[in-house]
Structure 1
Amino acid sequence: MPAGDRLTRRGMLASVGAAGASALAGCGGIGDLTGSGETTIRSHELPEVDPDENRQLVAPTVPVAIDGAHLAAARDRTTSLLAELPMPLGPDEIPNGHVRGRLLGAADDATDALDEARRAETDFVALRELRRSRERARYAAGGWRFAAGSQSLVDLRSARQDAVAEAREFESSREYRGSDPVRAALVHARIEALLRRATDDDSPHTEADGGGLLTVAEWAEEVETARALLADARHLGSQFSASLSADAGTVEAELRRAAETLLADVRSRRDDLPPEPTADDWGARERIVHELRSDADYGAKRVADAAGPASAALDATGRLAAFAALDGVLERIESGEQFAVESAADVRRYRQTAVDALTSALTGSPEPGLTRTVLTDAAGHVWSADWELSRLSGEVRPARLTDPVSSYVVAAALARAAPKASERAAEALTSA
């Protein structure tokens, strides 16, 4: 295509989004994912995926040691709460079947989370799962305590206020200590996220039971959530401080400058975002562009909008990766990429490409910690696609594979873009 005839990204995307558009100014036609229309694919020929097993293709981490005793304490807290329930919990204890089922369901959730913590690939994932196990166990135990006459809603509301106040006090007094600004950003972002949730004093969504058992159970869970979040934030902070030299200073100013620099990069790119696809019948191209465009456009616009400066810097890293991923996809569309699926082998190829891209980015990045923060989101797209595939059965029309294949393409594009975005973030952090 002559240089003068090449479409701008904006014009090209508008062409892609126009209903019935099938070619780009002399370039090869860009087809829809629907293949040959009436062709079907046998579901058993699609990739064999287990969303439960593949939930963490790239598990989140934190570059600080999590004490085994802290994890054990969380496990013990869960088991002690579950031990309060009279088992089997039957109609003699809780006559209302719906209410009884909710408590038993929460107890099952707590047990499942304990199992997930044991199988966790990283201690940080185990920390998260143990927190969830505590929350759900407290829901069940709080409901039972109310039924037994030993728990009141007034006491729980007061306990929640105390927990939130304690978290706010810790948040306001803690220092952003560190020596390596990249490592500091990765740790402090985790702490900021925990404290953002712990200091949220919005009332929980409760059952319309007039302050009855299930409302009390919800409030009990909220109390446990605030306490668990604060405990984990304190632990990460103390473990990180213990890993630093005695003369390590604070890096808050550096984190804020780096976040502002990276967010300025994001803002400068937002003005050049192409318009949303406008086709009435979206195919793979429109879905892929929409997803990456949304990833690029979403997020903190200022440091003040984020949970803190470290979170803002990491969020901006993800946005920059999304911009680069979108650029790559638009170039492929411009060159004639169809993202077509005509057989199960095509689906397997898209999925394997995504998995390989995740692995390559993680092992080959000079900034693996920052890159991993982008890849965990990218891996989420693979999990979503796997879940959709696992729901299919019998003969499948190619059009039904639009969403999962689009997710695989998005994941691969983000993975390829992650290392360079992470290098930019590291540069901003170390030069701030």
Structure 2
Amino acid sequence: MSRDPSVVGRRRFLAISGTGALATLAGCSGLLPGGSEPTVDADALAEAVSGDAPAVPETVPVDIEASFVDEQESIARSALDGVPAPFDREEIPNGVIRERLNGVYESATESIDRVDEALTPYDRLDRANGARVDAHEVQAAWRAIDADLTVSELTAETPAIAGSVDEVDARWSYVGDDPVRAVVVHDEIGTEIRAARNWLDSRHRRTTRDGRTALEVGALASDHERARTSVAVASYLFDRFRASLDATADLRARFEAARGILRARVREAKTALPPQDVDEPTSLVDRDVDETAGIRALAELGSEARYRAKDVTASDRDGGDEVPWLANDVLGALDALVFVRAFASLRERIEDGDDIAVEGIEDVAAIRESAIDAVAEARDADRGALLVDAMLPDLADEIRWTDDRLRRASGTVSVDSVAYDAVDYVVAGATCRALPPVCAETAAALRNGSS
């Protein structure tokens, strides 16, 4: 899942300010000057979370040729070759524009340099395409400065790009021989097609002033290039997937049936979820407990589960079986059920007596290690493994993001603040443990219409 800053904001809003049971600490380095709030040493905290987080790269069950990745990388290099970057003050006197374009240029070159470091062909492709988008932003912005390229001129390209999206969409169909593999591939194709349309949608574009500033031209060029890369990936994945099939059965009916089964489970589970935002998170469990990292994680999971369930059930009203994004719908329901199951499991764990409290650095390390173990267990799943592979990277990334936040601390850090961040370790562990059984049930629904 992309990192949403509002998630952290909700959690902090729900949290209480009192320290309660945190008055006595293990691993505590002292107190803040003039106060009584328990703290830990930032260096010791960074050491406790210094081990490598599990690397779970993005994958797709299609054989991606090195030549296709090389082609995207070549497009990026060609665009960069046409600009005299990095820019100096003589080339771009405006410091804001110069800083932005040099930053994007650096991002593009770094992405190119790191393509071969990627752990999977799909990850290599993602990095090459990222470089391609950045390179075209720099190239177009420089043309706006050096050759008076305008937004209006770029806008004239939109119909042709939209036509290429329509062409791929028109020939795309839900073919396959294994519905589990097929749903993962078609989810990716559908996501790319939707992304291409969104990048071309003027309603999502930033307002412009005169349509001539370099940054405005660069931003539009970036949107167009993102649409082009999405079209290229969607078309390539469909062709490669279809060519790999022993049979080309139409799986639309199978996807529709699975979607119906999973949506019904989401509707049923939704009735047992808490409200979107809970004023007193401790009310979520049937026992007396302080507002620990575990309780805060439970509130977070409950909120996220309801949000995802609402999105899934809203689709029932917005188009029903006529909605063409069947594979996306199936994995969207799977995602919602993962958070539902994670919420229920964590609540049971806390009600059984595990508070999951953070009273010092050792607790943070233990919670983190538990999350890492959950990722390893998920990667070992045998049933619904392709679905696990598709969903696990976003869930596992929570560990890395949390590591980064904790490692950036300096001096002394309040234990309550550390506990807030540790919530994401708890969430990662709970969702990664919920993922394999939900994926197994989804695979069963896809293959034989049952769990």
TM bracket (short chain): 0.7 to 0.9
Distance 1:123 1:197, change over 3 A: same
Corresponding residue of 2:366: 349
Corresponding residue of 2:339: 322
Deviation at 1:88, TM superposition (A): 4.5
Deviation at 1:221, TM superposition (A): 1.0
Deviation at 1:300, TM superposition (A): 2.6
Corresponding position: 1:367 with 2:384: yes
2:178 pairs, out of 170, 177, 180, with: 180
Determine if contact 1:19/1:279 at 8 Å carries over to the other structure.
Answer: no
Corresponding residue of 1:153: 151
Q: Percent identity?
A: 30
Corresponding residue of 1:166: 164
Deviation at 1:419, TM superposition (A): 1.0
Corresponding residue of 2:312: 300
Paired amino acid for 2:408:
R
Deviation at 1:335, TM superposition (A): 2.0
Distance 1:390 1:101, change over 3 A: same
Deviation at 1:152, TM superposition (A): 3.1
State the distance in 2 between where 1:416 and 1:274 align: 21
State the distance in 1 between where 2:17 and 2:79 align: 60
Corresponding residue of 2:75: 77
SS of residue matched to 1:86: coil
Deviation at 1:35, TM superposition (A): 5.7
- 1:17-416 to structure 2, matched below 5 A, reads 38-48=37-47, 49=49, 54=53, 57-149=55-147, 151-200=149-198, 201-203=200-202, 205-206=205-206, 208-211=208-211, 212-245=213-246, 247-275=247-275, 276-279=277-280, 283-297=292-306, 298=308, 299-301=311-313, 302=315, 304=319, 308-416=325-433
Determine if contact 1:35/1:342 at 8 Å carries over to the other structure.
Answer: yes
Superposed CA offset, 1:361-418 (max 9, x none): 1113322111223322321221221122122112222101122211111111111111
Size of the aligned set, in residue pairs, is: 405
Normalised by the length of structure 1, the TM-score is 0.86
Superposed CA offset, 1:59-96 (max 9, x none): 22101111111100111111111111114522222221
Paired amino acid for 2:299:
H
RMSD: 2.7
Superposed CA offset, 1:295-317 (max 9, x none): 32214323659871111111211
State the distance in 2 between where 1:97 and 1:70 align: 37
Unmatched segments (≥5 aa) in structure 1? 1-16, 23-30
Paired amino acid for 2:226:
T
Superposed CA offset, 1:267-302 (max 9, x none): 110011123431399652442122211332214323
Unmatched segments (≥5 aa) in structure 2? 1-13, 26-35, 283-290
State the distance in 2 between where 1:148 and 1:182 align: 51
Higher relative contact order (CA 8 A, sep 6+): 1
Determine if contact 2:294/2:426 at 8 Å carries over to the other structure.
Answer: no
Distance 1:89 1:227, change over 3 A: same
Determine if contact 2:388/2:435 at 8 Å carries over to the other structure.
Answer: yes
Distance 1:35 1:308, change over 3 A: farther
Deviation at 1:108, TM superposition (A): 0.9
Deviation at 1:112, TM superposition (A): 2.1
Superposed CA offset, 1:22-47 (max 9, x none): 9xxxxxxxx76676574322122225
Deviation at 1:127, TM superposition (A): 1.6
Distance 1:33 1:68, change over 3 A: farther
Determine if contact 1:34/1:398 at 8 Å carries over to the other structure.
Answer: no
Deviation at 1:345, TM superposition (A): 1.6
Paired amino acid for 2:298:
V
Normalised by the length of structure 2, the TM-score is 0.83
Distance 1:368 1:150, change over 3 A: same
